[in-house]
Structure 1
Amino acid sequence: MRKTAVVTGASSGIGAATARRLAAEGFNVVLAARRKDRLDALAEEIAGTVPGAGPGQAGRVVPIELDVTSQESVDALAARVLGRGGGCHVLVNNAGGALGLDSVATADLADWRAMYETNVLGLVRVTKALLPGLVESGAGHVVNITSLAGHVPYEGGGGYNAAKHAAYAVNEVMRLELVAEPVRVTEIAPGLVKTEEFSLVRFHGDEDRAAKPYEGVPEPLVAEDIADCIAWAVTRPPHVNIDRIDVQPRVQAAPHKLHRET
Protein backbone atom coordinates (compact mmCIF):
# COMPACT_ATOMS: atom_id res chain seq x y z
CA MET A 1 0.00 0.00 0.00
CA ARG A 2 1.28 3.44 -0.92
CA LYS A 3 1.84 5.85 1.93
CA THR A 4 -0.01 9.15 1.94
CA ALA A 5 1.66 12.49 2.59
CA VAL A 6 -0.19 15.75 3.25
CA VAL A 7 1.72 18.93 2.35
CA THR A 8 0.33 22.28 3.49
CA GLY A 9 1.26 25.47 1.68
CA ALA A 10 1.65 23.32 -1.43
CA SER A 11 0.68 25.95 -4.00
CA SER A 12 4.20 27.36 -4.43
CA GLY A 13 7.79 27.39 -3.21
CA ILE A 14 8.94 24.75 -0.74
CA GLY A 15 5.49 23.19 -0.53
CA ALA A 16 5.17 22.67 -4.27
CA ALA A 17 8.74 21.35 -4.54
CA THR A 18 8.07 18.94 -1.67
CA ALA A 19 4.88 17.67 -3.30
CA ARG A 20 6.75 16.97 -6.54
CA ARG A 21 9.55 15.19 -4.72
CA LEU A 22 7.32 13.03 -2.50
CA ALA A 23 5.22 12.00 -5.50
CA ALA A 24 8.44 10.97 -7.24
CA GLU A 25 9.38 8.98 -4.12
CA GLY A 26 6.15 6.98 -4.47
CA PHE A 27 3.85 8.69 -1.99
CA ASN A 28 0.22 9.53 -2.55
CA VAL A 29 0.29 13.30 -2.05
CA VAL A 30 -2.47 15.56 -0.79
CA LEU A 31 -1.79 19.11 -1.99
CA ALA A 32 -3.28 21.55 0.51
CA ALA A 33 -3.32 25.36 0.25
CA ARG A 34 -5.67 28.29 -0.23
CA ARG A 35 -5.18 28.77 -3.97
CA LYS A 36 -7.05 25.84 -5.49
CA ASP A 37 -6.28 26.89 -9.07
CA ARG A 38 -2.57 26.55 -8.41
CA LEU A 39 -3.07 23.19 -6.71
CA ASP A 40 -5.02 21.91 -9.71
CA ALA A 41 -2.24 23.02 -12.05
CA LEU A 42 0.41 21.40 -9.85
CA ALA A 43 -1.57 18.16 -9.71
CA GLU A 44 -1.75 18.09 -13.50
CA GLU A 45 1.98 18.81 -13.74
CA ILE A 46 2.87 15.98 -11.35
CA ALA A 47 0.50 13.61 -13.14
CA GLY A 48 2.32 14.37 -16.39
CA THR A 49 5.83 13.91 -15.03
CA VAL A 50 5.60 11.15 -12.40
CA PRO A 51 4.66 7.69 -13.71
CA GLY A 52 1.47 6.42 -12.11
CA ALA A 53 0.64 9.72 -10.46
CA GLY A 54 -2.43 10.57 -12.49
CA PRO A 55 -5.96 10.86 -11.13
CA GLY A 56 -6.76 7.44 -12.58
CA GLN A 57 -4.14 5.87 -10.34
CA ALA A 58 -6.24 5.68 -7.15
CA GLY A 59 -5.93 9.44 -6.68
CA ARG A 60 -2.16 9.57 -6.28
CA VAL A 61 -2.25 13.38 -6.23
CA VAL A 62 -5.24 15.08 -4.62
CA PRO A 63 -5.60 18.90 -4.47
CA ILE A 64 -7.65 20.17 -1.51
CA GLU A 65 -8.31 23.81 -0.71
CA LEU A 66 -7.09 24.63 2.81
CA ASP A 67 -6.85 27.70 5.02
CA VAL A 68 -4.83 26.72 8.10
CA THR A 69 -6.27 29.68 10.02
CA SER A 70 -9.80 28.25 9.70
CA GLN A 71 -10.85 25.35 11.93
CA GLU A 72 -13.71 24.56 9.55
CA SER A 73 -11.30 24.30 6.62
CA VAL A 74 -8.88 22.11 8.60
CA ASP A 75 -11.72 19.84 9.74
CA ALA A 76 -12.83 19.43 6.12
CA LEU A 77 -9.29 18.47 5.10
CA ALA A 78 -9.06 15.88 7.87
CA ALA A 79 -12.45 14.40 6.95
CA ARG A 80 -11.35 13.93 3.34
CA VAL A 81 -7.88 12.60 4.12
CA LEU A 82 -8.83 10.23 6.92
CA GLY A 83 -12.08 9.24 5.26
CA ARG A 84 -10.42 8.09 2.03
CA GLY A 85 -9.33 4.80 3.55
CA GLY A 86 -5.65 5.28 2.81
CA GLY A 87 -4.88 6.99 6.12
CA CYS A 88 -2.15 9.55 6.68
CA HIS A 89 1.51 8.64 7.08
CA VAL A 90 3.34 11.95 6.63
CA LEU A 91 2.30 15.50 7.42
CA VAL A 92 4.50 18.33 6.19
CA ASN A 93 3.50 21.53 8.01
CA ASN A 94 4.85 24.03 5.53
CA ALA A 95 2.16 26.74 5.48
CA GLY A 96 3.42 29.96 7.03
CA GLY A 97 5.76 32.78 6.18
CA ALA A 98 7.13 36.17 7.19
CA LEU A 99 5.56 39.63 7.10
CA GLY A 100 7.55 42.84 7.40
CA LEU A 101 11.00 43.67 8.70
CA ASP A 102 10.04 46.24 11.33
CA SER A 103 11.73 46.79 14.65
CA VAL A 104 9.87 45.91 17.84
CA ALA A 105 9.43 49.65 18.44
CA THR A 106 7.59 50.05 15.12
CA ALA A 107 5.95 46.63 15.02
CA ASP A 108 2.80 46.13 12.97
CA LEU A 109 0.80 43.97 15.37
CA ALA A 110 -1.53 42.83 12.58
CA ASP A 111 1.50 41.31 10.84
CA TRP A 112 2.68 39.71 14.08
CA ARG A 113 -0.79 38.25 14.67
CA ALA A 114 -1.00 36.90 11.11
CA MET A 115 2.42 35.24 11.41
CA TYR A 116 1.44 33.57 14.68
CA GLU A 117 -1.87 32.38 13.20
CA THR A 118 -0.20 30.63 10.27
CA ASN A 119 3.22 29.56 11.57
CA VAL A 120 2.04 28.38 15.00
CA LEU A 121 -1.70 27.97 15.40
CA GLY A 122 -2.07 26.71 11.84
CA LEU A 123 0.60 24.10 12.48
CA VAL A 124 -1.20 23.00 15.65
CA ARG A 125 -4.65 22.91 14.02
CA VAL A 126 -3.56 20.67 11.16
CA THR A 127 -1.43 18.41 13.34
CA LYS A 128 -4.20 17.96 15.90
CA ALA A 129 -6.72 17.10 13.16
CA LEU A 130 -4.53 14.54 11.40
CA LEU A 131 -2.74 13.05 14.42
CA PRO A 132 -5.25 10.20 14.92
CA GLY A 133 -4.53 9.04 11.37
CA LEU A 134 -0.78 9.39 11.83
CA VAL A 135 -0.91 7.24 14.97
CA GLU A 136 -3.21 4.70 13.35
CA SER A 137 -0.84 4.31 10.40
CA GLY A 138 1.68 2.67 12.72
CA ALA A 139 4.51 4.72 11.22
CA GLY A 140 3.47 8.36 11.16
CA HIS A 141 5.76 11.31 10.64
CA VAL A 142 5.21 15.02 11.30
CA VAL A 143 7.66 17.34 9.54
CA ASN A 144 7.53 20.96 10.66
CA ILE A 145 9.14 23.57 8.43
CA THR A 146 10.46 26.28 10.72
CA SER A 147 13.46 28.54 10.02
CA LEU A 148 16.89 29.37 11.33
CA ALA A 149 15.05 32.52 12.44
CA GLY A 150 13.45 30.28 15.05
CA HIS A 151 16.85 29.70 16.64
CA VAL A 152 18.90 32.83 15.92
CA PRO A 153 17.21 36.27 16.35
CA TYR A 154 18.12 39.14 14.07
CA GLU A 155 17.26 42.83 13.93
CA GLY A 156 13.96 43.48 12.21
CA GLY A 157 12.94 39.87 12.57
CA GLY A 158 11.10 40.14 15.89
CA GLY A 159 7.69 38.96 14.71
CA TYR A 160 9.02 36.18 12.51
CA ASN A 161 11.62 35.19 15.13
CA ALA A 162 8.89 34.94 17.76
CA ALA A 163 6.55 32.88 15.57
CA LYS A 164 9.25 30.45 14.48
CA HIS A 165 10.63 30.16 18.03
CA ALA A 166 7.10 29.14 19.03
CA ALA A 167 6.89 26.62 16.19
CA TYR A 168 10.21 25.15 17.33
CA ALA A 169 8.86 24.85 20.89
CA VAL A 170 5.72 23.08 19.66
CA ASN A 171 7.89 20.70 17.64
CA GLU A 172 10.00 19.80 20.69
CA VAL A 173 6.98 19.34 22.96
CA MET A 174 5.32 17.08 20.40
CA ARG A 175 8.34 14.80 20.32
CA LEU A 176 8.20 14.48 24.10
CA GLU A 177 4.46 13.88 24.19
CA LEU A 178 4.46 11.36 21.32
CA VAL A 179 7.48 9.33 22.41
CA ALA A 180 5.29 6.29 23.17
CA GLU A 181 3.41 6.57 19.86
CA PRO A 182 4.53 5.35 16.41
CA VAL A 183 5.00 8.92 15.18
CA ARG A 184 8.27 10.62 14.33
CA VAL A 185 8.70 14.38 14.64
CA THR A 186 11.23 16.30 12.54
CA GLU A 187 12.04 19.99 12.26
CA ILE A 188 13.53 21.41 9.06
CA ALA A 189 15.05 24.85 9.72
CA PRO A 190 16.14 26.55 6.47
CA GLY A 191 18.28 29.63 6.12
CA LEU A 192 18.12 31.87 3.03
CA VAL A 193 15.92 30.17 0.41
CA LYS A 194 15.11 31.99 -2.82
CA THR A 195 11.57 31.19 -3.90
CA GLU A 196 9.18 33.07 -6.12
CA GLU A 197 6.97 34.40 -3.31
CA PHE A 198 8.45 34.29 0.20
CA SER A 199 10.20 37.67 0.11
CA LEU A 200 7.52 39.24 -2.08
CA VAL A 201 4.85 38.35 0.48
CA ARG A 202 7.08 39.54 3.32
CA PHE A 203 7.30 43.00 1.79
CA HIS A 204 3.66 43.16 0.73
CA GLY A 205 4.38 43.00 -3.00
CA ASP A 206 7.24 45.54 -3.09
CA GLU A 207 9.48 43.93 -5.72
CA ASP A 208 12.51 46.14 -5.01
CA ARG A 209 12.52 45.34 -1.28
CA ALA A 210 11.79 41.68 -2.02
CA ALA A 211 14.90 41.40 -4.19
CA LYS A 212 17.33 42.89 -1.67
CA PRO A 213 17.81 39.84 0.63
CA TYR A 214 19.25 37.93 -2.34
CA GLU A 215 21.41 40.69 -3.82
CA GLY A 216 25.02 39.60 -4.21
CA VAL A 217 24.36 36.11 -2.81
CA PRO A 218 25.95 33.81 -5.40
CA GLU A 219 24.01 30.66 -4.62
CA PRO A 220 21.08 30.91 -2.22
CA LEU A 221 19.17 27.75 -1.46
CA VAL A 222 16.18 26.94 -3.63
CA ALA A 223 12.95 25.15 -2.78
CA GLU A 224 14.21 21.85 -4.17
CA ASP A 225 17.07 21.84 -1.62
CA ILE A 226 14.56 21.85 1.22
CA ALA A 227 12.39 19.25 -0.48
CA ASP A 228 15.48 17.05 -0.69
CA CYS A 229 15.97 17.31 3.09
CA ILE A 230 12.32 16.48 3.73
CA ALA A 231 12.36 13.49 1.40
CA TRP A 232 15.51 12.14 3.04
CA ALA A 233 14.05 12.46 6.54
CA VAL A 234 10.74 10.76 5.76
CA THR A 235 12.36 7.87 3.88
CA ARG A 236 14.58 6.77 6.78
CA PRO A 237 13.58 3.47 8.44
CA PRO A 238 10.64 3.93 10.86
CA HIS A 239 12.85 3.48 13.93
CA VAL A 240 15.12 6.36 12.87
CA ASN A 241 14.04 9.87 13.87
CA ILE A 242 15.82 12.86 12.36
CA ASP A 243 15.24 15.45 15.09
CA ARG A 244 16.26 18.57 13.20
CA ILE A 245 17.98 19.63 10.01
CA ASP A 246 19.53 23.11 9.90
CA VAL A 247 20.24 23.93 6.27
CA GLN A 248 21.62 27.13 4.76
CA PRO A 249 23.68 28.11 1.72
CA ARG A 250 27.44 27.76 2.05
CA VAL A 251 27.81 31.56 2.02
CA GLN A 252 25.55 31.98 5.05
CA ALA A 253 26.91 31.58 8.56
CA ALA A 254 23.84 32.86 10.44
CA PRO A 255 20.53 34.54 9.52
CA HIS A 256 22.29 37.92 9.81
CA LYS A 257 25.69 36.88 8.37
CA LEU A 258 25.93 36.43 4.61
CA HIS A 259 28.81 36.76 2.17
CA ARG A 260 27.69 38.95 -0.71
CA GLU A 261 29.64 39.46 -3.89
CA THR A 262 29.92 43.10 -4.99
Structure 2
Amino acid sequence: MNSIVLITGATAGIGEACAKIFAKNSYDLILTGRREERLTALKQRLESDYKVNVKTLCFDVRDKGKVIENLETLPLNWKKVDVLINNAGLSQGLDDIQDGDFDDWDTMIDTNIKGLLYVTKVVSNWMIENKKGHIVNLGSIAAKEVYAKGNVYCATKHAVDALNKAMRIDLLKHGIKVTGIHPGAVETEFSVVRFHGDEEKAAKVYEGFEPLMAQDIAETIWFVVTRPAHVNINDLLIMPTAQASTSHHLKI
Protein backbone atom coordinates (compact mmCIF):
# COMPACT_ATOMS: atom_id res chain seq x y z
CA MET A 1 0.00 0.00 0.00
CA ASN A 2 0.90 3.66 -0.24
CA SER A 3 1.50 5.76 2.86
CA ILE A 4 -1.71 6.06 4.88
CA VAL A 5 -3.41 9.08 6.45
CA LEU A 6 -6.34 8.83 8.86
CA ILE A 7 -8.53 11.94 8.97
CA THR A 8 -11.39 12.44 11.43
CA GLY A 9 -14.24 14.76 10.52
CA ALA A 10 -13.49 14.28 6.84
CA THR A 11 -16.91 15.05 5.38
CA ALA A 12 -16.49 18.83 5.12
CA GLY A 13 -14.21 21.81 5.65
CA ILE A 14 -10.60 21.27 6.67
CA GLY A 15 -10.98 17.48 6.88
CA GLU A 16 -12.27 17.21 3.32
CA ALA A 17 -9.59 19.61 2.03
CA CYS A 18 -6.92 17.48 3.73
CA ALA A 19 -8.34 14.34 2.16
CA LYS A 20 -8.02 15.88 -1.29
CA ILE A 21 -4.45 17.12 -0.90
CA PHE A 22 -3.23 13.80 0.56
CA ALA A 23 -5.00 11.80 -2.15
CA LYS A 24 -3.48 14.06 -4.79
CA ASN A 25 -0.09 13.12 -3.35
CA SER A 26 -0.81 9.38 -3.55
CA TYR A 27 -1.70 8.64 0.06
CA ASP A 28 -4.26 5.97 0.81
CA LEU A 29 -6.89 7.30 3.18
CA ILE A 30 -9.00 6.27 6.17
CA LEU A 31 -11.78 8.83 6.41
CA THR A 32 -14.13 9.08 9.38
CA GLY A 33 -17.26 11.14 9.89
CA ARG A 34 -20.88 11.05 10.95
CA ARG A 35 -22.48 11.54 7.52
CA GLU A 36 -22.30 8.31 5.57
CA GLU A 37 -23.59 9.71 2.27
CA ARG A 38 -20.87 12.36 2.25
CA LEU A 39 -18.20 9.82 3.15
CA THR A 40 -19.29 7.54 0.32
CA ALA A 41 -19.38 10.36 -2.22
CA LEU A 42 -15.93 11.59 -1.15
CA LYS A 43 -14.49 8.07 -1.34
CA GLN A 44 -15.81 7.60 -4.87
CA ARG A 45 -14.49 10.97 -6.00
CA LEU A 46 -11.01 10.50 -4.56
CA GLU A 47 -10.63 6.96 -5.85
CA SER A 48 -11.74 8.06 -9.31
CA ASP A 49 -9.66 11.25 -9.48
CA TYR A 50 -6.44 10.06 -7.84
CA LYS A 51 -6.46 6.22 -8.09
CA VAL A 52 -5.86 5.75 -4.36
CA ASN A 53 -7.44 3.36 -1.87
CA VAL A 54 -9.99 4.87 0.50
CA LYS A 55 -11.53 3.25 3.57
CA THR A 56 -14.50 5.03 5.16
CA LEU A 57 -15.68 4.60 8.76
CA CYS A 58 -18.98 6.17 9.79
CA PHE A 59 -19.08 6.94 13.52
CA ASP A 60 -19.20 9.79 16.02
CA VAL A 61 -15.89 10.30 17.84
CA ARG A 62 -17.87 10.94 21.04
CA ASP A 63 -18.83 7.26 21.13
CA LYS A 64 -15.81 5.49 22.65
CA GLY A 65 -17.18 2.02 21.86
CA LYS A 66 -17.74 2.85 18.20
CA VAL A 67 -14.32 4.48 17.89
CA ILE A 68 -12.59 1.37 19.21
CA GLU A 69 -14.81 -1.05 17.28
CA ASN A 70 -14.39 0.70 13.92
CA LEU A 71 -10.65 1.27 14.23
CA GLU A 72 -9.61 -2.04 15.77
CA THR A 73 -11.53 -4.11 13.21
CA LEU A 74 -9.58 -2.59 10.32
CA PRO A 75 -7.40 -5.09 8.44
CA LEU A 76 -3.80 -5.18 9.67
CA ASN A 77 -2.41 -3.48 6.56
CA TRP A 78 -4.71 -0.50 7.17
CA LYS A 79 -3.31 -0.05 10.68
CA LYS A 80 0.05 1.06 9.32
CA VAL A 81 -1.05 4.69 9.59
CA ASP A 82 1.67 7.24 8.83
CA VAL A 83 -0.33 10.40 9.61
CA LEU A 84 -3.28 10.97 11.94
CA ILE A 85 -5.15 14.26 11.53
CA ASN A 86 -7.37 14.84 14.57
CA ASN A 87 -9.68 17.24 12.78
CA ALA A 88 -13.13 16.39 14.20
CA GLY A 89 -14.25 19.28 16.35
CA LEU A 90 -16.97 21.87 16.70
CA SER A 91 -18.42 24.80 18.59
CA GLN A 92 -22.03 25.03 19.70
CA GLY A 93 -23.64 28.14 21.06
CA LEU A 94 -22.23 31.58 21.81
CA ASP A 95 -23.46 32.48 25.27
CA ASP A 96 -22.25 34.05 28.48
CA ILE A 97 -21.20 31.35 30.94
CA GLN A 98 -24.32 31.85 33.09
CA ASP A 99 -26.58 31.36 30.06
CA GLY A 100 -24.76 28.37 28.55
CA ASP A 101 -26.60 25.26 27.43
CA PHE A 102 -25.57 22.01 29.16
CA ASP A 103 -26.09 19.99 25.98
CA ASP A 104 -23.87 22.37 23.99
CA TRP A 105 -21.17 22.06 26.66
CA ASP A 106 -21.33 18.27 26.65
CA THR A 107 -21.17 18.13 22.85
CA MET A 108 -18.08 20.34 22.69
CA ILE A 109 -16.24 18.62 25.53
CA ASP A 110 -17.08 15.12 24.30
CA THR A 111 -16.10 15.88 20.69
CA ASN A 112 -13.15 18.23 21.01
CA ILE A 113 -11.40 16.59 23.96
CA LYS A 114 -12.65 13.08 24.61
CA GLY A 115 -13.14 12.19 20.94
CA LEU A 116 -9.61 13.31 20.13
CA LEU A 117 -8.31 11.20 23.02
CA TYR A 118 -10.24 8.08 21.99
CA VAL A 119 -8.87 8.14 18.43
CA THR A 120 -5.34 9.05 19.54
CA LYS A 121 -5.23 6.25 22.11
CA VAL A 122 -5.84 3.63 19.42
CA VAL A 123 -3.79 5.08 16.57
CA SER A 124 -0.77 6.12 18.67
CA ASN A 125 -0.35 2.49 19.74
CA TRP A 126 -0.31 1.43 16.08
CA MET A 127 2.36 4.04 15.41
CA ILE A 128 4.44 2.84 18.35
CA GLU A 129 4.26 -0.69 17.01
CA ASN A 130 5.12 0.50 13.49
CA LYS A 131 7.95 2.68 14.89
CA LYS A 132 6.85 5.74 12.93
CA GLY A 133 4.05 8.27 12.65
CA HIS A 134 2.93 11.89 12.82
CA ILE A 135 -0.10 13.17 14.75
CA VAL A 136 -1.60 16.52 13.74
CA ASN A 137 -4.07 18.05 16.20
CA LEU A 138 -6.43 20.78 14.99
CA GLY A 139 -6.67 23.48 17.60
CA SER A 140 -7.75 27.08 17.10
CA ILE A 141 -6.87 30.69 17.90
CA ALA A 142 -9.29 29.85 20.76
CA ALA A 143 -6.52 27.62 22.15
CA LYS A 144 -4.36 30.72 22.61
CA GLU A 145 -6.92 33.39 23.56
CA VAL A 146 -10.26 33.54 25.33
CA TYR A 147 -12.99 35.71 23.83
CA ALA A 148 -16.40 36.91 24.99
CA LYS A 149 -19.05 34.16 25.01
CA GLY A 150 -16.50 31.59 23.79
CA ASN A 151 -15.94 30.19 27.29
CA VAL A 152 -16.38 26.42 26.96
CA TYR A 153 -15.26 26.21 23.34
CA CYS A 154 -12.08 28.12 24.25
CA ALA A 155 -11.59 25.79 27.22
CA THR A 156 -11.79 22.72 24.97
CA LYS A 157 -9.26 24.14 22.53
CA HIS A 158 -6.94 25.14 25.38
CA ALA A 159 -7.18 21.47 26.37
CA VAL A 160 -6.22 20.41 22.83
CA ASP A 161 -3.20 22.72 23.04
CA ALA A 162 -2.16 21.11 26.34
CA LEU A 163 -2.74 17.60 25.02
CA ASN A 164 -0.69 18.40 21.92
CA LYS A 165 2.25 19.40 24.13
CA ALA A 166 1.77 16.33 26.33
CA MET A 167 1.67 13.99 23.33
CA ARG A 168 4.89 15.53 22.04
CA ILE A 169 6.59 14.66 25.35
CA ASP A 170 5.05 11.20 25.81
CA LEU A 171 5.67 10.05 22.25
CA LEU A 172 9.17 11.52 21.95
CA LYS A 173 10.82 8.25 22.98
CA HIS A 174 8.96 6.46 20.20
CA GLY A 175 10.08 8.86 17.47
CA ILE A 176 6.51 9.93 16.68
CA LYS A 177 6.02 13.52 15.54
CA VAL A 178 3.25 15.70 16.99
CA THR A 179 2.03 19.06 15.66
CA GLY A 180 -0.67 21.50 16.75
CA ILE A 181 -2.32 23.59 14.02
CA HIS A 182 -4.23 26.63 15.30
CA PRO A 183 -6.26 28.56 12.69
CA GLY A 184 -8.00 31.87 13.08
CA ALA A 185 -11.23 32.51 11.17
CA VAL A 186 -11.76 29.83 8.50
CA GLU A 187 -14.86 29.91 6.31
CA THR A 188 -16.26 26.39 6.70
CA GLU A 189 -19.41 24.94 8.30
CA PHE A 190 -17.99 25.94 11.70
CA SER A 191 -20.26 28.93 12.27
CA VAL A 192 -23.33 27.18 10.87
CA VAL A 193 -22.81 24.45 13.46
CA ARG A 194 -22.12 26.99 16.22
CA PHE A 195 -25.43 28.72 15.48
CA HIS A 196 -27.36 25.46 15.22
CA GLY A 197 -27.93 25.67 11.47
CA ASP A 198 -28.72 29.40 11.23
CA GLU A 199 -26.90 30.16 7.96
CA GLU A 200 -27.83 33.84 7.94
CA LYS A 201 -26.27 34.42 11.35
CA ALA A 202 -23.24 32.32 10.40
CA ALA A 203 -22.60 34.32 7.23
CA LYS A 204 -22.29 37.53 9.24
CA VAL A 205 -19.22 36.15 11.04
CA TYR A 206 -17.13 36.57 7.88
CA GLU A 207 -18.63 39.82 6.61
CA GLY A 208 -16.22 42.62 5.76
CA PHE A 209 -12.94 40.71 5.72
CA GLU A 210 -11.33 37.80 3.90
CA PRO A 211 -11.08 34.73 6.14
CA LEU A 212 -8.89 31.70 5.66
CA MET A 213 -10.19 28.85 3.53
CA ALA A 214 -10.05 25.15 4.32
CA GLN A 215 -7.52 24.70 1.52
CA ASP A 216 -5.13 27.12 3.26
CA ILE A 217 -5.05 24.91 6.35
CA ALA A 218 -4.79 21.69 4.34
CA GLU A 219 -1.78 23.04 2.45
CA THR A 220 -0.15 24.01 5.76
CA ILE A 221 -0.73 20.52 7.18
CA TRP A 222 0.77 18.99 4.04
CA PHE A 223 3.84 21.18 4.47
CA VAL A 224 4.17 20.15 8.13
CA VAL A 225 4.02 16.39 7.48
CA THR A 226 6.47 16.52 4.58
CA ARG A 227 9.37 18.02 6.55
CA PRO A 228 12.55 15.91 6.81
CA ALA A 229 12.68 13.18 9.45
CA HIS A 230 14.76 15.31 11.82
CA VAL A 231 12.30 18.25 11.73
CA ASN A 232 9.15 18.50 13.86
CA ILE A 233 6.97 21.61 13.81
CA ASN A 234 5.48 21.62 17.30
CA ASP A 235 2.95 24.42 16.97
CA LEU A 236 1.58 26.75 14.28
CA LEU A 237 -0.81 29.70 14.64
CA ILE A 238 -2.31 30.68 11.28
CA MET A 239 -4.40 33.83 10.85
CA PRO A 240 -6.05 35.67 7.98
CA THR A 241 -4.07 38.78 7.08
CA ALA A 242 -7.14 40.78 8.12
CA GLN A 243 -7.33 39.23 11.60
CA ALA A 244 -4.67 40.01 14.25
CA SER A 245 -6.49 38.32 17.14
CA THR A 246 -9.94 37.02 18.01
CA SER A 247 -11.18 40.57 18.57
CA HIS A 248 -9.09 42.56 16.08
CA HIS A 249 -10.27 42.41 12.45
CA LEU A 250 -9.55 44.78 9.58
CA LYS A 251 -12.99 45.12 8.03
CA ILE A 252 -13.75 46.99 4.83
What TM bracket, shorter-length normalisation?
Answer: over 0.9
8 Å CA contact retained: 1:90, 1:141? yes
How far residue 88 of structure 1 moved from its aligned partner, in angstroms, is 1.2
Q: What is the alpha-carbon distance in structure 1 between the residues aligned to residue 60 and residue 76 of structure 2?
A: 19
Correspondence for 2:41: 41
How far residue 26 of structure 1 moved from its aligned partner, in angstroms, is 1.8
Instruction: Give secondary structure in 1 for the equivalent of 2:91.
Output: coil
Farther-moved stretch of structure 1 (75-84 vs 247-256): 75-84
How far residue 85 of structure 1 moved from its aligned partner, in angstroms, is 5.0
Are 2:250 and 1:259 equivalent residues in the alignment?
yes
Q: Which ranges in structure 2 are unaligned for 5 or more consecutive residues?
A: none
Alignment of structure 1 residues 130-169 onto 2, 5 Å: 130-169=123-162
Q: What is the alpha-carbon distance in structure 2 between the residues aligned to residue 132 and residue 238 of structure 1?
A: 20
User: Among 232, 235, 238, which residue is 1:244 paired with?
Assistant: 235
User: Among 87, 91, 112, which residue is 1:94 paired with?
Assistant: 87
Matched length: 252
The change in CA–CA distance for 1:224 and 1:137 in structure 2 (over 3 A counts) is same
How far residue 78 of structure 1 moved from its aligned partner, in angstroms, is 1.9
Are 2:194 and 1:202 equivalent residues in the alignment?
yes
User: Among 169, 176, 182, which residue is 1:183 paired with?
Assistant: 176
Are 2:112 and 1:129 equivalent residues in the alignment?
no
Instruction: Give secondary structure in 2 for the equivalent of 1:96.
Output: coil
| TM-score normalised to structure 1 length | 0.93
How far residue 104 of structure 1 moved from its aligned partner, in angstroms, is 1.2
The change in CA–CA distance for 1:69 and 1:154 in structure 2 (over 3 A counts) is same
Q: What is the alpha-carbon distance in structure 2 between the residues aligned to residue 220 and residue 185 of structure 1?
A: 26
Q: Deviations over 1:58-80 (max 9, x none)?
A: xx111111210111211123224
Q: What is the alpha-carbon distance in structure 2 between the residues aligned to residue 180 and residue 232 of structure 1?
A: 24
Instruction: Give secondary structure in 2 for the equivalent of 1:162.
Output: helix
Q: What is the alpha-carbon distance in structure 2 between the residues aligned to residue 64 and residue 107 of structure 1?
A: 32
* Percent of pairs with identical residues: 40
Question: One-letter code of the match for 2:126?
Answer: G
Question: One-letter code of the match for 2:141?
Answer: L
User: Among 96, 100, 103, which residue is 1:110 paired with?
Assistant: 103
8 Å CA contact retained: 1:203, 1:209? yes
Pairwise CA RMSD: 1.3
How far residue 86 of structure 1 moved from its aligned partner, in angstroms, is 5.3
The change in CA–CA distance for 1:81 and 1:88 in structure 2 (over 3 A counts) is farther
Q: Which ranges in structure 1 are unaligned for 5 or more consecutive residues?
A: 54-59
How far residue 82 of structure 1 moved from its aligned partner, in angstroms, is 5.8
8 Å CA contact retained: 1:9, 1:33? yes
Question: One-letter code of the match for 2:175?
Answer: P
Instruction: Give secondary structure in 2 for the equivalent of 1:221.
Output: coil
8 Å CA contact retained: 1:81, 1:88? no
Q: What is the alpha-carbon distance in structure 2 between the residues aligned to residue 21 and residue 138 of structure 1?
A: 25
